[in-house]
A and B are shown apart, each in its own frame.
Chain A
Amino acid sequence: MKPPQNELDPLGQWTGRVLRQLPVRPAPADLAHQVLAEIRLRAHLPWYQRPWPQWPNSHKWLSALALTVVLTATFGIGIPTIENSASQSLAGHYARLALDYLDSLQAVSTSVWKSLRLNLAHLSTTTFTLAASSLVAVWFSTLGLGALCWRVTTQPR
């Protein structure tokens, strides 16, 4: 329900009456065609190009498992070793390749984290403050400049 004050407000009454005379704006002629084409396109997309919730269930489970393995390896929470009998087979060979890759991923992430900590520890307060201030200044000046350009070129007065 609308507030009763509009019924007493002549400006509100006038606006309501005038605006309700505006006709429905016709959609672009090719809107329906575009929507249908997009639906056809999406229907033929392979599973890996669709959003994750629309993947087949088996693929969802496998991807979740893969993600868990990668995260576990990256953060160093015990990588299982497949050495003995499995390494003799072709599957074992690929498993070892995958584990080698995860090992190297873990090594890289560990070294990056260590160097970051080392650099931050040796950074003086002044340098850190200057760097942070510069970042903030750049951010706000970009935002401000963009807002100014937009208001000058686009916003109605």
Chain B
Amino acid sequence: MSDPAQFETFLVAYQDMVYSTAYRLLSQEAEARDVSQEVFLRAWQHWDQLSGSPTAGGWLKTVTRNLCINHLQRYRARWKFFSDLKSADAPDDEPGLEATFAAPETLDSDLLNADQRGVLEEAMTKLPTDQRVALVLYHFEDLDYVDIANRLGVSLGKVKTDIHRARLALYKRLQPRRDELGV
């Protein structure tokens, strides 16, 4: 292990990305901070390999994602047992859900300003954990349904249902403010 100054530069450069990823998955500031700290401590342990590596950012993102999923599975497994009994057996698609959503051509003007992003972030934090994690892994981490199912240890059907419900919940939460949001 060497060159703490170089590591500090690395840390400052990537801290927002790591914290942001952790916060989106965990939705708790304190937990996201703890996970971010652990990620960088591990990075320091592997600094000999990471220093100067072009894939260091990807390494950080992967470790952050894995630590968050481990954290959720370890500390929230017991609550999941109580909260998922109903949704685990839910069908892949719910008839009628698509009908409540507008046609794509009406959704082009969905550029958000800073306040509107705040509204969206708040709506994200209000999603149930399972739905938020699946949604974040799909839309931010670019994992496909099968990868998400494997990483979370749940069925493919549950992942599809969770993502669909999360999208719908976001849309419904934002719908009363569509004029404000411009979507």
CB pair B139 A15 closer than 8 Å: yes
A36-B16 contact in complex given A14-B107, A146-B78, C-beta closer than 8 Å: no
In the complex, what residues of B have CB within 8 A of residue A150's CB?
A: 79
A36-B83 contact in complex given A22-B117, A31-B37, C-beta closer than 8 Å: no
CB pair A18 B79 closer than 8 Å: no
In the complex, what residues of A have CB within 8 A of residue B135's CB?
A: 15, 19
CB pair A12 B4 closer than 8 Å: no
Q: Does B62 contact A (CB under 8 A)?
A: no
Partner of A27, one of B15, B104, B145: B15
A35 to B39, CA, bound (A): 10
Q: Does A143 contact B (CB under 8 A)?
A: yes
Partner of B40, one of A12, A15, A35, A143: A35
A150 to B81, CA, bound (A): 13
CB pair B183 A18 closer than 8 Å: yes
Place the interface of chain A in its size category. 35 or more
In the complex, what residues of A have CB within 8 A of residue B166's CB?
A: 15
Place the interface of chain B in its size category. 35 or more
Q: Does B154 contact A (CB under 8 A)?
A: no
In the complex, what residues of B have CB within 8 A of residue A2's CB?
A: 138, 142, 144
B102 — nearest CB in chain A belongs to which residue?
Answer: A10
In the complex, what residues of A have CB within 8 A of residue B121's CB?
A: 22, 25
CB pair A10 B16 closer than 8 Å: no
A11-B37 contact in complex given A1-B144, A39-B44, A156-B128, C-beta closer than 8 Å: no
A1 to B138, CA, bound (A): 11
Q: Does A60 contact B (CB under 8 A)?
A: no
CB pair A13 B107 closer than 8 Å: yes
Q: Does A147 contact B (CB under 8 A)?
A: yes
A83 to B120, CA, bound (A): 78
Task: Tell me the A residues contacting B by CB distance below 8 Å.
Answer: 1-3, 9-28, 31-32, 34-36, 38-39, 42, 143-144, 146-147, 150-151, 155-156
6 additional A-B pairs beyond A11-B101, A18-B170, A24-B17, beta carbons within 8 Å, are A10-B98, A10-B103, A11-B168, A14-B104, A19-B120, A38-B41
13 contacts between A and B (CB under 8 A): A10-B107, A11-B164, A14-B110, A17-B107, A21-B111, A23-B117, A25-B16, A31-B36, A36-B11, A39-B4, A39-B7, A150-B79, A155-B129
